[in-house]
């Protein structure tokens, strides 16, 4: 590991979830390529002050080009002393490119990876038709990470073996990595049984915890957790939350992510006379939702930060004492 001699030992999120009664965490988005990068330091600083238990960093989400996931995840740990979770999407890469990128994470001492497929690029709904040497689903990425944790590396035809001598499933034995694997869960996916099937598959492939798609009411989370319990799925599942402070943003989330936003929140935001009033309405709504989720037994709260880390920090701070 490159930084073996000058940093604290890296913490796995599975360990944090096992030891803390309530985990508080947040997701940040790298700045758009070519924009000011210092903003990210201010966001991390605001979240560290809560203090949060870990910060996750998205990869390529939202359409625009945003590099930096790995170095930002690394600096969260090295410079700020906070555990980080690097999102890793498999949608654009061959399995060989994925193995190399996972090794970059390993060298940098990144312990926690959120294994995702990623959204299709805008206007390309057929993007995920299966292609050779590529994953179609996140569970396949989870399996590839678990393989590395078992010291099983890809075999290179023509290099490790004669061309076509080895079946694709054969693995080369190597040094085991030690990644903690997280995945996405989708409580509002219909039918519910299938949503839980998909999560169960990820758990079978080594997922140790999950974070849900953003939710704006406690009911889908409660139903999803009940179904998981009925099926014997025991991993911690953190509810994902986003603070809606403007009517237009709330409507965009419905359109873009297919999530349900209560009409009462949309109407209240529509009546807001100022940005500050919208912020207060969104914050109060999220605070009440967090209370319900914790009462349902949620192991923690994970807030998606868009631009406003201060508001996310304010929400999380209200739950730090408990």
CB closer to ligand FAD, 118 vs 220: 118
Judging by beta carbons within 10 Å of its beta carbon (0-12, 13-18, 19+), is residue 63 exposed, middle or buried?
A: exposed
108: contact with ligand FAD by CB under 6 A: no
Contacts of 2 (CB under 8 A, 6+ apart): 107, 108, 109
Rank residues 60 and 109 by Cβ distance to ligand FAD and give the closer one: 60
Nearer to ligand FAD, 154 or 215 (CB): 215
Any contact of residue 61 with ligand FAD (CB under 6 A)?
yes
> Shortest gap between Cβ of 135 and ligand FAD (angstroms)?
8
Q: Would you count residue 89 as binding ligand FAD (CB under 6 A)?
A: yes
117 touches ligand FAD (CB under 6 A): yes
Q: Is 59 in the site for ligand FAD (CB under 6 A)?
A: yes
Cα separation, 321 vs 135, in Å, equals 42
Task: Please pick, from the candidates 137, 157, 253, 319, the single residue that binds ligand FAD as defined by CB under 6 A.
Answer: 137
Does position 25 interact with ligand FAD (CB under 6 A)? The reply is: no
Residue choice 99, 119, 227, 251 for contact with ligand FAD (CB under 6 A): 119
272 binds ligand FAD (CB under 6 A): no
Quote the least distance from Cβ 139 to ligand FAD, whole Å.
6
Q: Contact between 293 and ligand FAD (CB under 6 A)? A: no
Q: Please say which residue, 72 or 138, places its beta carbon nearer to ligand FAD.
A: 138
- Of residues 89, 93, 55, 53, the one with CA closest to residue 74: 55
Q: Of 104 and 276, which CB lies nearer to ligand FAD in the complex structure?
A: 104
Using the contact rule CB under 6 A, the part of the chain among 9-17, 114-122, 220-228, 307-315 near ligand FAD is 114-122
Q: Give the containing element (helix H, strand E) for 214.
A: strand 209-214
Query: Helix 218-230 to helix 275-295 angle, to the nearest 10 degrees?
Result: 20
How many residues line the site for ligand FAD (CB under 6 A)? Answer: 20
Q: Who's near 70: CB < 8 A, 6+ residues apart?
A: 86, 104, 105, 108, 110
139 binds ligand FAD (CB under 6 A): yes
Interface with ligand FAD (CB under 6 A), residue from 30, 109, 240, 300: 240
Q: Which residues contact 295 (CB under 8 A, 6 or more apart)?
A: none
Distances 249 to 244, 252, 253, 255, 317 between C-alpha atoms, Å: 7, 5, 6, 10, 24
Q: Among 66, 87, 105, 247, which residue interacts with ligand FAD (rule: CB under 6 A)?
A: 87
| CA–CA dist 212, 271 (Å, integer) | 29
Q: Restricting to residues 39-58, which ones interact with ligand FAD according to CB under 6 A?
A: 58
Interface pattern 176-215 for ligand FAD (x via CB under 6 A): --------x----x--------x--x---------x-x--
Question: How many Å is the Cα radius of gyration of the chain?
Answer: 20
Print the SS3 string covering 115-183: EECCCCCCCCCCCCCCCCCECCCHHHHHHHHHHHHCCEEECCECCCECCCCCCCCCEEECCCCCCEEEE
The residues that touch ligand FAD, with contacts defined as CB under 6 A, are: 58-61, 87, 89, 116-119, 137-139, 184, 189, 198, 201, 211, 213, 240
């Amino acid at each position: 590991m490159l930084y073996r001699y000058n940093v604290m030992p890296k913490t796995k999120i599975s360990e944090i979830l096992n030891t803390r009664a309530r985990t508080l965490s947040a997701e940040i988005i790298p700045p758009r390529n070519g924009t000011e990068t210092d903003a990210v330091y201010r966001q991390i600083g605001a979240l560290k002050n809560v203090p949060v238990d870990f910060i996750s960093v998205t990869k390529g989400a939202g359409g625009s080009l945003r590099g930096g996931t790995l170095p930002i995840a690394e600096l969260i740990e090295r410079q700020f002393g906070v555990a980080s979770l690097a999102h890793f999407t498999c949608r654009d890469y061959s399995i060989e490119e994925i193995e190399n990128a996972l090794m970059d994470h390993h060298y940098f001492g990144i312990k926690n990876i959120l294994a995702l497929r990623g959204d299709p690029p805008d206007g390309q709904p057929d993007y995920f038709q299966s292609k050779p040497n590529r994953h179609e689903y996140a569970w396949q990425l989870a399996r590839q990470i678990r393989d590395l944790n078992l010291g099983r590396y890809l075999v290179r035809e023509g290099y490790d073996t004669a061309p076509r001598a080895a079946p694709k499933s054969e693995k080369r034995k190597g040094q085991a990595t030690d990644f903690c694997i997280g995945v996405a869960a989708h409580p509002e996916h219909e039918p519910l049984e299938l949503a839980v099937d998909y999560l169960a598959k990820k758990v079978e492939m080594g997922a140790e915890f999950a974070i849900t798609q953003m939710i704006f009411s406690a009911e889908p989370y409660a139903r999803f957790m009940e179904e998981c319990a009925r099926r014997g799925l025991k991993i911690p599942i953190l509810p994902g939350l986003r603070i809606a402070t403007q009517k237009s943003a709330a409507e965009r989330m419905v359109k873009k992510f297919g999530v349900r936003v209560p009409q009462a929140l949309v109407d209240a935001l529509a009546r807001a006379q100022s940005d500050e009033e919208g912020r207060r309405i969104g914050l109060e709504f999220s605070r009440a939702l967090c209370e319900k989720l914790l009462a349902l037994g949620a192991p923690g709260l994970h807030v998606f930060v868009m631009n406003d880390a201060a508001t996310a920090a304010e929400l999380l701070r209200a739950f730090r004492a408990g």
